[in-house]
Copies of this chain bind each other. A is one copy, B any other.
């Protein structure tokens, strides 16, 4: 983990850009440290520069609760080498959705390769985070592409709780992963999300194997998650990462 620029610091958060191998990432830690901070892996949709402001706002809420947050650029996104097959699948998906055509196997060409590539990288990020001073304790994961987060939560026992978006357009493998999950889950759903099939999202919530899972559904579209839903997610992490 190589920190290649000066940190941005205010009263609450220290934000540092880093690279892990060739992969760009961002780390947010508390500006004043009294105890070690549990790490939360922040998921993203690809394109860290474009998403930085929104990620920083999510990270700030967690850092205010004493946690450390980190994220990595996704495979094929931002400045990383393109994944041509994934890009073709994404273009096909947008075309099919716009035309109202059946999606057939498009989701299976788009999502599983991303999951397979991204999950080991986020696990390597967790390895690197635990080597930093001041980061220790059980880990959480928050948001991003649901199929990646669900697989990550399934395969890495260091992750003890997860805040997830109830997405649709999921491959069958994600439902298999979901049924195997046992950690506490806090699942966000935007009731009128224009890019989300509500019933598929409810089916995913139903599939999660966890005995403790909460669905927090709010009005509005994809980018309209209300502030109080963020506060509820923070309360969830405080219950499970302390």
Give residues in A with beta carbon < 8 Å to B. 189, 191, 202, 205-206, 210-219, 226, 228-229, 231-232, 235-236, 239
The residue on B at minimum CB distance from A229 is: B214
The residue on B at minimum CB distance from A185 is: B219
Chain B residues whose C-beta falls within 8 Å of the C-beta of A231 in the assembled complex: 235
Copies of this chain present in the complex amount to 2
Chain B residues whose C-beta falls within 8 Å of the C-beta of A219 in the assembled complex: 210-213
Contact indicator A191/B218 (Cβ below 8 Å): no
A205 to chain B, nearest CB (A): 8
Contact indicator B232/A212 (Cβ below 8 Å): no
| Contact of A216 with B216 at beta-carbon distance under 8 Å, contacts A206-B191, A232-B232, A235-B231 already known | yes
Chain B residues whose C-beta falls within 8 Å of the C-beta of A217 in the assembled complex: 205, 214-215, 217
A214 to B186, CA, bound (A): 14
Contact indicator A191/B212 (Cβ below 8 Å): no
- Of the residues B191, B202, B215, contact of A216 by C-beta under 8 Å: B215
A197 to chain B, nearest CB (A): 14
Chain B residues whose C-beta falls within 8 Å of the C-beta of A206 in the assembled complex: 191
Contact indicator B239/A235 (Cβ below 8 Å): no
A218 to B205, CA, bound (A): 10
Contact indicator B216/A214 (Cβ below 8 Å): yes
- Of the residues B205, B211, B226, contact of A212 by C-beta under 8 Å: B226
A68 to chain B, nearest CB (A): 23
Can you pick out 8 interface pairs between chain A and chain B where the beta carbons lie within 8 Å of each other?
Answer: A191-B213, A210-B219, A211-B219, A212-B226, A214-B216, A214-B226, A214-B229, A215-B218
A225 to chain B, nearest CB (A): 11
